[in-house]
Structure 1
Amino acid sequence: MLTAASPLLAESQVIAPLQDQAAALGRALQELRSRLDPLQRIHESVAGSRLGTQALVLLTDPREITSALEVAARSCEREVLTAQPGGPRTPEVLEQALPRDTAMLARGVRMQTIYQHSARFSGPTQAYVERVTALGSEVRTLDEFFRRLLIVDRRTAFIPDVENDAGAVLIRHPAVVAFLADSFERVWASALPFTSAHESRTDKSISSAMQRSIARLMLTEDKDSAIARRLGIGERTCRTHIAKMMQQLGARNRTHLGYLLAAAEPQLLEALSEDAPTGPARS
Structure 2
Amino acid sequence: MCTSAGISGGPGAGELCDEGLRRYAEAIETGFIGVSMAPECLIHFGLVSLADDGVLVPVPPTTAATLVLNPLRRAALDQLEVIAAAEKAFAAADRVHAVAERHRAPDVRLIQGGDTISSILQAAVDGCQDELLTIQPGGRRPPELLERALQKELIALRRGVKQRIIYQHTVRSHEPTLDYIRGISEGGAQVRTVDEVIDRLIICDSTVAYIPTGPQRGQEALEVRHPAIVRFLEGVFNNVWNRAHPFDMPTPGAAKPRIVATEIQKAIMRMLVQGHTQTKIARELGMSARTVTSLVGKISEELESASPTQLGYLIATHGLLDQEPGAV
Given candidates 167, 181, 191, the residue that maps to 1:129 is 181
How high is the TM-score relative to the length of structure 2?
0.63
Change (3 A) 1:120 1:184: same
Q: State how far apart, in whole Å, the 2-side matches of 1:59 and 1:266 are.
A: 42
Given candidates 275, 291, 296, the residue that maps to 1:237 is 291
Partner of 1:74 in structure 2?
126
| Deviation larger for 265-274 or 206-215 | 265-274
Matches within 5 A, 1:194-233: 194-196=247-249, 201-233=255-287
Given candidates 228, 232, 239, the residue that maps to 1:186 is 239
**Amino acid paired to 1:231:** L
Contact 2:259 2:325 (C-alpha < 8 Å) held by counterparts = no
- What is the Cα deviation at residue 56 of structure 1? 0.9
**Amino acid paired to 2:179:** A
The yes-or-no answer on 1:173 pairing with 2:244 is no
| Deviation larger for 265-274 or 55-64 | 265-274
Structure 2 SS opposite 1:88: coil
The yes-or-no answer on 1:94 pairing with 2:146 is yes
The yes-or-no answer on 1:54 pairing with 2:106 is yes
Contact 2:146 2:177 (C-alpha < 8 Å) held by counterparts = yes
Q: State how far apart, in whole Å, the 2-side matches of 1:272 and 1:205 are.
A: 6
How high is the TM-score relative to the length of structure 1?
0.72
Q: State how far apart, in whole Å, the 1-side matches of 2:128 and 2:180 are.
A: 21
- Structure 2 regions of 5+ residues with no counterpart? 1-98
Which fold has the larger relative contact order, with Cα–Cα distance below 8 Å and residues 6 or more apart in sequence?
Answer: 1
| Deviation larger for 70-79 or 196-205 | 196-205
Q: State how far apart, in whole Å, the 2-side matches of 1:230 and 1:207 are.
A: 16
Contact 2:172 2:256 (C-alpha < 8 Å) held by counterparts = no
Contact 2:164 2:191 (C-alpha < 8 Å) held by counterparts = yes
Partner of 2:317 in structure 1?
263
**Amino acid paired to 2:310:** H
Change (3 A) 1:250 1:136: same
Q: Deviations over 1:143-164 (max 9, x none)?
A: 1111111000000111112275
Change (3 A) 1:199 1:76: farther
| Deviation larger for 100-109 or 65-74 | 65-74
Structure 2 SS opposite 1:80: strand
Q: State how far apart, in whole Å, the 1-side matches of 2:309 and 2:123 are.
A: 51
- Structure 1 regions of 5+ residues with no counterpart? 1-45, 275-283
> Percent sequence identity over matched residues?
35
Contact 1:142 1:192 (C-alpha < 8 Å) held by counterparts = yes
The CA RMSD measured in Å over matched residues stands at: 2.5
Q: State how far apart, in whole Å, the 1-side matches of 2:325 and 2:152 are.
A: 44
Q: State how far apart, in whole Å, the 2-side matches of 1:200 and 1:55 are.
A: 47
Q: Deviations over 1:47-89 (max 9, x none)?
A: xx86x62111111133432332232122211100000101111
Change (3 A) 1:156 1:237: same
Q: State how far apart, in whole Å, the 1-side matches of 2:212 and 2:325 are.
A: 37
